[in-house]
């Protein structure tokens, strides 16, 4: 109980002078703040990308398993959906491409991939040392983490 200006006793609902609706609004405000922080930290992929289900299945057309190739290597591959140069890199459906060569991942630059007349794609990969190598093309998410599915099979090759 508190006294108003006239000295009359007034019941404000709590010992602190706050009413229950004030507490409810405070709790809602805290909840909205926590939700905003959650969305900021975990609300989705950066760069406006959002993946759309499973990644498309890629097919490595060249080099083939066991081929001997000159350096620098040129990869030729196909995708069932058109690829574009997205904010996160070359990709489609919210996923982007990485080449995995000898366990190390490479990401194409904006001018590294070109669409060919037959609809396939050519990717000029950096010069590799002569010898045995293993490569494949994989999909990554917006955080550059590999995703399951859609990648090509490993292809052992020899660089001369």
Structural domain including 86 reads 47-159
Q: Which CATH number belongs to the domain containing residue 137 in this structure?
A: 2.60.40.10
Using CA atoms, how far residue 33 sits from 19, 41, 45, in Å, is 22, 12, 20
Are 33 and 51 members of one domain? no
3-state class (DSSP) for residue 97: strand
Are 93 and 17 members of one domain? no
pLDDT for position 129: 93
Q: What is the mean pLDDT of residues 38-59?
A: 69
CB 102 within 8 A of CB 47: no
pLDDT tens digits along 110-143: 999 999 999 999 999 878 899 999 999 999 998 8
Are 10 and 78 members of one domain? no
Give the tokens for residue 57: 């299945």
CB 89 within 8 A of CB 141: no
- This prediction has a pTM of 0.67
pLDDT tens digits along 96-110: 999 999 999 999 999
Are 15 and 31 members of one domain? yes
Task: Look at the chain and report how many structural domains it folds into.
Answer: 2
Question: What is the residue whose two structure tokens read 């299945």?
Answer: 57
pLDDT at 40 over 80: no
Are 83 and 144 members of one domain? yes
pLDDT at 9 over 70: no
Rounded Cα distance between 141 and 107, Å, is 12
Are 75 and 141 members of one domain? yes
pLDDT for position 48: 41
């Amino acid at each position: 109980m508190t006294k108003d200006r006239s000295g009359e006793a007034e019941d404000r609902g709590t010992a602190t002078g706050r009413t229950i609706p004030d507490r409810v609004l405070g709790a809602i405000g805290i909840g909205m703040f926590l939700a905003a922080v959650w969305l900021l930290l975990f609300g989705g992929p950066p760069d406006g990308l959002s993946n759309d289900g499973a990644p498309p299945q890629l097919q490595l057309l060249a080099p083939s398993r066991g081929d001997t190739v000159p350096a620098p290597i040129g990869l030729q591959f196909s995708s069932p959906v058109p690829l574009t140069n997205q904010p996160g890199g070359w990709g489609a459906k919210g996923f982007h491409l990485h080449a995995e060569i000898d366990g190390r991942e490479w990401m194409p630059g904006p001018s590294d991939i070109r669409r060919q007349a037959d609809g396939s794609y050519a990717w000029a990969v950096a010069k590799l040392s002569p010898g045995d190598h293993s490569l494949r093309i994989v999909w990554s998410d917006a955080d550059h983490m590999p995703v399951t599915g859609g990648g090509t099979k490993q292809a052992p090759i020899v660089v001369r």
